[in-house]
Amino acid sequence: MTSEIVTLTDVHPRDIATFKKELQDAFAVAVVDEFGALPDGPIPSDHDLNAAITAPGAVVLRILSDGRKIGGAVVTLDMDTNHNSLDLFFIKVGEHGRGLGLKAWLAIERRYPETVRWQTHTPYFEKRNIHFYVNKCGFKIIEFFNRHHSDPHHPGGPDDLPGDGEAFQFEKVMRSPNGRFDPA
């Protein structure tokens, strides 16, 4: 890991277009590596990305390293249950391999200490993401979505994602509702 200091800030509305482009560029790398080319249009689609950014409870975060923009995240917060989700997370192309993703995730955990459980997801072919969430961040795989078991939160179905929409759902238990750590 580098000695770089990773911090978070809310994305300013004038930075949304750049944020979206950087996110789509970062996601494209894995799709092209796995499938040779992008399907028609960016991944995630502009529609899906706009829906995530504008969802109730969504917070759009810029990840900074020593004040320099290196990535971003969209989290959705449920203030009633504190069962929150990491909907989108990326480190910009060219910034990988220095431990910045883990530092960014830990900054998100510190920013939302009231969280009871975090959930996130990633496509099945994203082995680097699976390794990151399970082995680095402490998430557990809790569900596998596929043609026979679709993701109820992705109404487009499996055909609008590479790899037939196969994806893993992850969960990280931070503490029980009574405030004690509950490793599940």
3-state SS, one letter per residue, for the chain = CCCCCEEEEECCHHHHHHHHHHHHHHHHHHHHHHHCCCCCCCCCCHHHHHHHHHCCCEEEEEEEECCEEEEEEEEECCCCCCEEEEEEEEECCCCCCCCHHHHHHHHHHHHCCCCCEEEEEEECCCHHHHHHHHHHCCCEEEEEEECCECCCCCCCCHHHCHHHHCEEEEEEECCCCCCCCCCC
**Fold observed for domain 6-173:** Aminopeptidase (3.40.630)
Residue 162 pLDDT class (50, 70, 90 cuts) = low
pLDDT 10s digits, 41-73: 888 889 999 999 999 999 999 999 999 999 999
pLDDT, residue 165, reads: 72
Domain extents in the chain: 6-173
